[in-house]
Amino acid sequence: MIQGVFEDMRSYKIAAIPADGIGREVIDAGLEVLAALAGHDGGFTLAAERFDWGSDYYKRHGVMMPENGRDLLKGFDAIYFGAVGAPDVPDHVTLWGLRLAICQPFDQYANVRPTRILPGIKSPLAGVGPAELDWVIVRENSEGEYAGQGGRSHRGLPEEVATEVAIFTRAGVTRIMRFAFETARARPRKQLTVVTKSNAQRHGMVMWDEIAAEVAADFPDVTWDKMLVDAMTMRMTLRPATLDTIVATNLHADILSDLAAALAGSLGIAPTANLNPERRFPSMFEPIHGSAFDITGKGIANPVATFWTACMMLEHLGERAAAARLMAAIEHVTADPALHTPDLGGHATTRQVTDAVIAAIRSMQ
Ligand code: IPM
Ligand code: MG
C-alpha cells in the first residue's frame, strides 16, 4: 500500500501485475518510484494492490489468472503490468491466458508506443539524435492478425491444416484511425504515416487504406501519408526525421515497434499503454521488453521502460505535473552513462537506477 499524507488528495487504485521474469523486478522498482512521487507533495495518493498471476500461478492452478480475474480488475483506475512469458510454458498459453485475456475483453484497442532518444543514450544510427527520432507508434490492439480467429484440423497427419485469419472491421479500423489522427493532431508536427500492405493483401488492407482516407477528411490540419510496411522499415532506418506519428495494424506495429526501440537505443527503455480511450474499462500500462529470462534475478534489468510506462499511466490518470516530473527525473538519470544498465552498454544495476531516479524526484520537490 502506497499512501500520501493529506486528507483531500486525489486518490487512485492501481492493480499491479508483475507476472513473469524481470516483470517482478521492474514493477517493484516502478512502485517504489511512484510512491516517491506521490508520497511527498504530489497532491495525490496511489493505492497499489498486487496480483500474483502469471506462469508460476499457472503451474499451481492450471490457469494464468483466476476465473474472476477481470471482475477483480474492473474497480481499478489502471493496471501496471510487468511481462509474461516463461521458458517452460508455451508462449501462446501465457500470452492468451493473461495479457490478451485482459487487453481484449477490456477493449484496450489503442496501443501507444512513444519512441525517443533519451539524453545520454546513443542510437545505433550514425548522426541520429533526439531531434531526428521522436515518434509515437499507434498500434491497433484488438483485432487484425491478433484476432485469435482460425483453427487446426487433422492434427499430426500429413494433411494437417492450420489457419490464422486476420480480421479487419470497419468499426475497429475507424476507431483506431480516429485515435491516431487525434494523437498526431496533439503533437507539434501534426503528421501521421499510415502503414499498410495493400499491394499484396487486397481485402483487409485495402479497406484499411480507404478508411484512413475517409477519417483524414475530418482532420484537415493533419498532414498524412501512406507507407508499405516493408518500405517503412527502410524509411525508419534511413530517414527517421521524416516520421512523427505512425499507425499500423496489430502485427505490423508489433514488428515496427521493436525496430523503433532498437533505433532509439534499447528495448529496455520502451514503454507502452494499452488504452480503452472511452474509459469503460481500466487501461493497462507495461514495458515492451518482455520477461527476459536470461537476466531474471540478476538485478540488472533496465527499469527505465517501466518508469516511462508509469509516466504514461500518470498522464492517463490526469496527473500531468507528476508525469512531467517523473520524465525529467528519468532523463536526468539516463544522461549519466554511469547509470546505464548492461542493455545500454553500462554496468549499473536496477537498484542503482531506481535509487537515482528517486533521488532526482526528491531533489525536484
Ligand atoms: C509486444 C510483445 C507481445 C506482442 C508479445 C509478448 C506477444 O511483443 O507487446 O510487442 O506481440 O504483442
Ligand atoms: Mg513486440
Same domain, 228 and 328: no
Q: What is the DSSP letter of 116?
A: E
Residue 169: CATH number of its domain: 3.40.718.10
User: Which of 28, 77, 107, 197 is flagged as catalytic?
Assistant: 197
pLDDT of 158 reads 97
Look at residue 166 and tell me whether its pLDDT is greater than 90: yes
Mean pLDDT, the chain, whole residue set:
95
Residue 290 near ligand 1, beta carbon < 6 Å: yes
**Is there a single domain that holds both residue 157 and residue 253?**
yes
The preferred substitution site among 64, 95, 102 for testing ligand 1, maximizing ligand atoms within 8 Å of CB, is: 95
CB of 254 sitting under 6 A from ligand 1:
yes
Task: Give the distance (Å) from ligand 1 centre to CA of residue 9.
Answer: 36
Looking at residue 4, its pLDDT comes to 46
- What residues pack around ion ligand 2 (CB closer than 5 A)? 254
Give the residue-averaged pLDDT of 80-104. Answer: 94
Question: What is the identity of the amino acid at 334?
Answer: T
**pLDDT score, position 336:** 98
Under 8 Å between Cβ of 235 and 229: no
Domain match, 13 and 107 both: yes
Residue nearest ligand 1's atom 12 by CA: 254
Q: Which domain holds residue 205?
A: 123-134+142-264
Residue 250 Cα: closest atom of ligand 1: 12
150: pLDDT strictly greater than 60: yes
Same domain, 254 and 280: no
Asked if residue 95 has its Cβ within 6 Å of ligand 1, the reply is yes
**What string of DSSP letters covers 157-178?**
STT-EEEEEEE--HHHHHHHHH
Residues 213 and 251 in one domain: yes
- Tens digit of pLDDT for each residue in 200-240? 999 999 999 999 999 999 999 999 999 999 999 999 999 99
Ligand 1 atom 8, closest CA? 254
Nearest CA to ligand 1 atom 3: 254
Does the model's pTM come out above 0.75?
Answer: yes
In order, the DSSP letters of 183-246 are HHHTSTT-EEEEEE-TTT--SHHHHHHHHHHHHHTT-TTSEEEEEEHHHHHHHHHH-GGG--EE
The string of pLDDT tens digits covering residues 47-69 is: 999 999 999 999 999 999 999 99
- 148 and 113 inside one domain: no
Q: Is 146 designated active site?
A: yes
pLDDT digits (tens, 9 = 90+) for 297-343: 999 999 999 999 999 999 999 999 999 999 999 999 999 999 999 99
Same domain, 220 and 312: no
Is 343 a catalytic site residue? no
240 and 128 both lie in a single domain: yes
The three grid cell numbers given for residue 268, joined into one nine-digit string: 529496455
Report residue 218 as a C-alpha cell.
475530418
Cα distances from 112 to residues 27, 96, 274, 309, in angstroms, run 19, 20, 7, 10
Catalytic residue among 146, 209, 221, 225: 146
Question: Do 305 and 340 sit in the same domain of this protein?
Answer: yes
Domain identity same for 24 and 51? yes
The CB of 288 under 6 Å from ligand 1? The reply is yes
Domain final position from 264, 282, 311:
264
Answer yes or no: do 36 and 105 share one domain: yes
Provide the percentage of residues in the chain whose pLDDT is more than 70. Answer: 97
- 20: phi then psi, degrees, rounded to nearest 5: -110, 160
Distances (CA, A) of 184 to 32, 88, 179, 335: 33, 41, 9, 28
Q: Which of 81, 32, 10, 30 is nearest to 311 (CA)?
A: 30
Question: Which of 235, 264, 293 delimits the end of a domain?
Answer: 264
> How far, in Å, is the centroid of ligand 2 from the Cα of 291?
12
Domains of the chain: total = 2
Domain boundary among 205, 234, 264: 264
Q: What is the pLDDT of residue 41?
A: 65
Same-domain pairing of 306 and 348: yes
261 in ligand 1 pocket by Cβ < 6 Å? Answer: no
For residue 5, pLDDT beyond 60 = no
